[in-house]
Amino acid sequence: MKFRKIIFLINGKGKPNASKEFGKAALCDLSINGEQMKIEKFKCFNGQHCETTTTGTLLKHIGVKLSEPMLFGLGEGLGYIFWNMKIMDFPFIGGRVKPDVLTQNLTKNLNLELEIKETSSIKKAWQNVKGKLDKNIPVGLKLDSYYLEYFTSKIHFAGHYIAIYGYDDEFAYVVDTEQQGGLMKTSLKNLELARNEKGPMSSRNLSYTISKKDTEYNLNDVIRTAIVNNANDYLNPPIKNIGYKGILKTSTEIKKWFNNSKDIERDFKTTAMLMEKAGTGGAIFRNFYRDFLKESYELLKIESLKKSHKEFIEIADLWLEVSVLFDKVGETKDIKYINKASEILEKLSEKEKRAMELLINLNN
């Protein structure tokens, strides 16, 4: 399988196909009635990114109500990677930490219990989920979105997340991102196929639940810890295609990419869409982190947070400009837009490094 087919749905591209049962009931604030629902008075989390939407739903069920930017920030989610391999149709540009890590960081920082189960047994995999649902506990699932009926773009991506909150003899009732419809349903058979799919980013029928511990978290302390951890990881990338060094590398690599591309329109228009619209919250996750810093400053009143937030306002705008330029490259095949994007990426590398350096000493 070529990488283009893997990355296209990384953050939930595809139009929602709501079932007749729900109609416009994709909205999370609608009451769902019916005996088939195992979790009564269930309320889902409205989100744009699949992992924060799924984990946010599980947190909401146990009374932890935080915004999506706050979930992203407390999960130490900000990152960057430029990835290119010979087997890929075109390079991949990503703006967050790798799958699973965000939820692990988030629950650790909030002093919550994260129970993860994996198994190669299809029967055991369903028992793991059903046992929790029968106790009125929603479950997070990692799976291949290809098999979900409401995904209209049938492309394999095994790093997608949904929450399941009910079932009957035929269907599973699930929560997906806003752009996929929110409250949806999928057949139990297709859910089985989705969870058991093999390939890049796949897990062995992974499911997870979140519960509270005896000790409550202090949000102000958690914010400090998460910011410093994220800044430290970001500023010390293990290889040069990650973090601010990766952005700088991208500024030169896109010129090679343009010159060697077999399909400039496909490559750059698809990349622009993934960066801006495919569940990233816009600006390749920088809008999330910008808003997280704003919320954090309002709580902590630390000057370096205010300064970094100001930087990220400009950073987010610049990333939007890069995606617009990539789209123009696809439309016109004119290298002048590549050269302009390259200049902006150089500036972004410096600005993101400076913004994260403001945060790394937050606890001092």
Model confidence pLDDT, tens digit, residues 166-208 = 999 999 999 999 999 999 999 999 999 999 999 878 899 999 9
* Packing angle, helices 303-332 and 286-300, rounded to 10: 170
Cβ density class 181-194: b for 16+ within 10 Å, e for less: bbbbbbeeebbbbb
pLDDT digit string, tens, across residues 337-354:
999 999 999 999 999 999
User: Tell me: the pLDDT tens digits for 308-333?
Assistant: 999 999 999 999 999 999 999 999 99
- Spatial separation of the C-alpha atoms in residues 183 and 32, rounded to whole Å: 10
Residue 10 pLDDT > 80, yes or no? no
Band the pLDDT of 38: cuts 50, 70, 90. confident
- Which residues make beta-bridge pairs with 242? 81
Question: What is the mean predicted confidence (pLDDT) over 60-76?
Answer: 97
Per-residue pLDDT tens digits for 238-267: 999 999 999 999 999 999 999 999 999 999
Instruction: Give the sign of the dihedral formed by CA 253, CA 256, CA 262, CA 268.
Output: positive
Residue 162: how many CB atoms within 10 A of its CB? Answer: 27
In one letter, which amino acid is 13? K
Higher pLDDT, 72 or 98: 72
Backbone angles phi, psi at 48, to 5 degrees: -100, -25
What pLDDT is stored for residue 122 in this prediction? Answer: 96
| pLDDT for position 203 | 93
Q: 139: which strand partners? A: 164
Instruction: Give the pLDDT score at 200.
Output: 78
**What does the pLDDT average to over 139-153?**
93
pTM for the model stands at 0.88
Helix (H, G, I), strand (E, B) or coil at 339: helix
C-alpha span between 284 and 287 (Å, rounded): 8
> Per-residue confidence at 28, pLDDT binned at 50, 70, 90?
low
Tokens read off for 298: 């309002």
